[in-house]
Chains A and B, each alone.
Chain A
Amino acid sequence: MAAPILRWVGPGKRWALAWVDSSSSHRRVSPNGSASHRMREQRSVAQQSLHTAPKPRKGGHKWAAVVGLEVHAQISSNSKLFSGSQVSFAAPPNSLVSFFDASLPGTLPVLNRRCVEAAVMTGLALNCHINKKSLFDRKHYFYADLPAGYQITQQRLPIAVRGSLTYGVFVGNKRSHMATKTVRIKQIQLEQDSGKSLHDDLRSQTLIDLNRAGVGLLEMVLEPDLSCGEEAATVVRELQLILQALGTSKANMAEGQLRVDANISVHQPGEPLGIRTEVKNLNSIRFLARAIDHEIQRQISELESGGVILNETRSFDHRLGCTVPMRDKEGKQDYRFMPEPNLPPLVLYDTASLPVGVEPQQVINIDQIRDTLPELPRVTRERLVREYGMLPEHSFTLLNEVGLLQFFQSVMKETRAEPKKVTSWVLNVLLGYLKQHNLAVNESPITPSALAGLLDLLDSKAISSSAAKEVFEELWKGKAKTAAQIVSEKQLELMQDQEALEQLCQATMEGHPQVVTDMKTGNPKAINKLIGLVRKATLNRADPAVIKNILERLSA
């Protein structure tokens, strides 16, 4: 049915202000003075390198924006976090619901091992400290899709804390240079997902489907180290790649497996942090960037015209391209956190502290999980740069496009051509065509084998690069011909006969003495004209570079 619909009224999920709130929340005087100073420094550095930062408005006011993200990723597991019902995206309503998920009396939560492993893997991949003991809590609020009236989460002592994520931003307008930045991760916690509400405004009712209720979520709280939409988009994309590489979440935003809320405020550099707003209902990376940038502009405009920013929740209307307030009757939410009485603390071990005489199925060894982590995107990129000599920007593009890396590697396997050539053709030519026709990599009419064949011909100098482009165009039509077939059909092979080519050059030079004279005086246009004439004479079957050499030699 419809994708998750935003909640108009009521609490929804808020930035929890309970517990002892230390340095990272907005609009609070940090108890640790040096932490906020550090944050200010980081932000002013961020301002310098961003070409997408909002331009300073008239009056010379310079605003610094502060963006904090909360990311919820659905854990990729067979069953739910605390019950044995299935996790699946499309299923008949309420068919994947156990008695516990429906919150029937007498049911108790039983923790899923796979979800704990997923949390530990993600924590390790994000350089977090894994808490060997973590606790579960209840977060209370009333909403129709939360049958128990509370959500089991890990607010006080989550499973992983104090991590970091490095990402790359393009510096300068030409996107030619990359700089790496870091965002700190405050914590990662396990929590339950809620069911889905479908609002039927016509009949003034809400339909509830509990299939999603109880599914395991990884909530990742990022410190407000970001300053614009592009940074946020890059961070979320990197997080997606990491989760997908680990296999802990499919992290598909369109299917609701990855949800991001943004907390945004603006302030003048040197002044305290401004009032923040929370923006929700962001279901694609593109909307995330746009919503954040729009909200920053809105806050700046509001403040510059003397208004105030309300601490409210807003949603992004992608058709209007702006954020709008969500109906918010409840004001600040009090979740009345309490320890989950039905779950003892979760204890994790490492190799040094493994308990004896306990069933292995009941023991989670952090060191063992660390040893079996798959290759992370950052490492993959470094490897690509090292093995194939490509620029870092290229490695980013290869990983960012879904399926492009596999395509590239398939081509590399089948072709003799140099990695640099392959990189160039895949990233510039193929990707260019795909973008122009709005196709995904897996919809490409050109297969890796076809491209490999083309590159082989180019590499063996059987065709010129301009001929190669023609062949590519023909291959794009997808008529199941190989590059070699197209070359022979269209007679695009390069002339292999050196002597015949020399004779043609000689003949052309004799036929255009004036141009030859011009050429000898060093006029670059003249030689190009001659090259063009020779090419025409060869029916485009000669490499311009070779022609040039011959002409230069003959005229010497």
Chain B
Amino acid sequence: MWARAVWLAFRSGLGGCQAFSTKANFQGSGPITVEVIEHLERLALVDFGSREAVARLEKAIAFADRLRAVDTDGVEPMESVLEDRCLYLRSDKVAEGNCAEELLQNSHQVVEEYFVAPPGNISLPTLGEQERTLPTQLSSYSGKGVSCEHMKAQ
């Protein structure tokens, strides 16, 4: 279960990795520290699990680092492949909604037309702890943990 989550995380998570510098960025390819892994896991609610997974991450970063070989001085970054298109403006009319029943069917726990989520936000237990289990109660709209459906959507 961990491994699958990790593979899927790589496939869709790679796009976001190289986009912008954050504090967790690491220049060049070097070993990734435990702090960075913890930070990423907390942010993205993924579980890197094994040492093998971290090694794969390092290889992926090294692969992407080859982009730095391109000289981009004086070149405006491309924000979007859609940059030549016009952003379509919709007129302000009500045309959707009123499908509460349909939407609520997606959640396995519902209380009086509300979605049910666990209290507060979910933080991962720290790396030191032995027992690490993915949350067992997953309601699709709780934003909790990583479910395959979510990864495909993003």
Contacts and interface: CB of A to CB of B under 8 A. Distances in A.
Contact of B141 (A85, A208, A329, A336): A208
A113 B119 contact: no
Given A84-B95, A346-B87, A94 B100 contact: yes
Contacts, number: 199
10 contacts: A8-B120, A9-B121, A79-B92, A79-B95, A84-B93, A86-B97, A104-B106, A115-B92, A344-B87, A358-B86
A102 B85 CA distance: 27
A140 interface: yes
A54 interface: no
Interface in B92-113: 92-100, 103-104, 106, 111-113
A31 B66 CA distance: 32
Contact of B89 (A10, A116, A142): A116
Interface stretch (A143-151, A255-263, A420-428, A516-524): A143-151
Given A142-B143, A347-B87, 6 more contacts: A79-B90, A84-B96, A103-B153, A149-B150, A327-B120, A336-B43
Residue in A8, A113, A205 with the greatest tally of chain B CB atoms within 10 Å = A205
A343 B22 contact: no
B154 interface: yes
Contacts of B82: 343-344
A151 to B, nearest CB: 12
Interface in B125-154: 141-144, 149-150, 152-154
Contact of B143 (A18, A116, A143, A198): A143
A105 B149 contact: yes
Contacts of B111: 205, 207
Interface in A129-153: 135, 140, 142-144, 146-149
B46 to A, nearest CB: 11
Contact of B120 (A9, A111, A149, A361): A9
B99 A97 contact: yes
B103 to A, nearest CB: 5
A111 B16 contact: no
In the A-B complex, list the 7 residue pairs whose CB atoms are closest, starting with the nearest.
Answer: A10-B121, A9-B120, A144-B117, A84-B95, A98-B96, A114-B92, A85-B97
A7 B119 CA distance: 10
A329 B124 CA distance: 11
Interface residues of A, number: 74
A95 B97 contact: yes
Interface string A197-235: 111110011111110000000000000000000000000
Give the secondary structure class of A's interface.
Answer: loop
A106 B149 CA distance: 11
A341 interface: yes
Interface of B: 15-16, 19-20, 22-24, 39, 42-43, 45, 79-100, 103-104, 106, 111-123, 141-144, 149-150, 152-154
A97 B80 contact: no
A78 interface: yes
Nearest to A100: B96
A345 B113 CA distance: 37
Contacts of B143: 142-144, 146-147, 149
Contacts of A114: 91-92
A207 B92 contact: no
A345 B117 contact: no
A105 B153 contact: yes
A92 interface: yes
A189 interface: no
Interface string A342-354: 0111110000000
Contact of B115 (A104, A207, A334): A207
Contacts of A116: 89
B76 to A, nearest CB: 11
Given A103-B153, A147-B143, A336-B22, A79 B93 contact: yes
A92 B123 contact: no
A147 B45 CA distance: 14
A358 B85 CA distance: 13
Given A78-B93, A205-B118, A334-B24, A142 B113 contact: no
A345 B89 contact: no
Given A94-B114, A149-B150, A102 B103 contact: yes
A140 B88 CA distance: 24
A406 B38 CA distance: 60
Contacts of A197: 117
Contact of B119 (A92, A95, A199, A345): A199
A11 interface: yes
A79 B45 contact: no
